[in-house]
Amino acid sequence: MLSLGILGSGRGSNARSILEYIEAGRLDARAACVVSDVAGSGILELGRMHGIPSFHVDGAPFRTKLDGAAQDQVIGLLREHGVDTVALAGFMRMVKPALLRAFPGRVVNIHPALLPAFPGLEAWEQALAAGASESGCTVHFVDEGMDTGPVILQRRVPVLPDDTPASLHARIQEQEHLAYPEALALLASGRVRLEGGKVVRS
Ligand code: GAR
């Protein structure tokens, strides 16, 4: 059984989907804690509603990365709560090597594009601006790069002629809510793991 620490900055719809799969007995995991760098975020509210220990950690003085004292605090919370797998679910800061070393091969992320296409922020807007005919989402192991780690799985969505950024993101999110629990189930069962920086499937 996975012992999950879920990190997010926003609404928490991916976290909600993960919790629903756990509660329905479709994902062999427990949510050990939720951590957010945004006070009052939806993901913290969600964690509290589900009775999960949920914490705000102030990321200052950094704006785009989790580093220094804030990173140490997050690692401490994850360890205290017995986390063995860290799921980034809309966590809008880059995690740094100390966290990756604390949970080697056990930090995963979901990204709203078919990586390696459109890494970084607002990937759905990037897909529209590039005139892509399809996009999707990727669940991947996290490495030190930005959205560069080995891919666990992807789900595709078409880009429609009348798509707006909001409509495309919504369609991608529907697939994210299936992809993330599915990827975590592969980890929970040992059918996917990271060895020597490569994804091993069995
Ligand atoms: C999701 O679309 C996720 O893929 C994206 O943020 C959204 C969070 O939504 N993450 C990134 O862009 C990371 N680079 P949620 O808070 O409703 O799960």
Domains of the chain are 1-103 (3.40.50.170), 108-202 (3.40.50.170)
Question: What was the pLDDT predicted at 86?
Answer: 98
Question: What was the pLDDT predicted at 39?
Answer: 97
Strand partners, 144: none
Give the global pTM.
0.97
Band (184; pLDDT cuts 50, 70, 90): very high
Mean pLDDT of 31-53: 98
11, 14, 34, best to mutate for ligand 1 pocket (most atoms within 8 Å of CB):
14
Cα gap 180→19, rounded to integer Å: 11
C-alpha 201 to ligand 1 mean position (Å): 26
Residue 111 falls in the annotated catalytic set: yes
**Per-residue pLDDT tens digits for 108-137:** 999 999 999 999 999 999 999 999 999 999
Q: Which of 84, 58, 85, 79 is nearest to 69 (CA)?
A: 58
Measured from CB, residues less than 6 Å from any atom of ligand 1 are: 8, 10-14, 89-90, 110-112, 123, 173, 176
Place of tokens 């490495």: 143
Cα gap 63→60, rounded to integer Å: 7
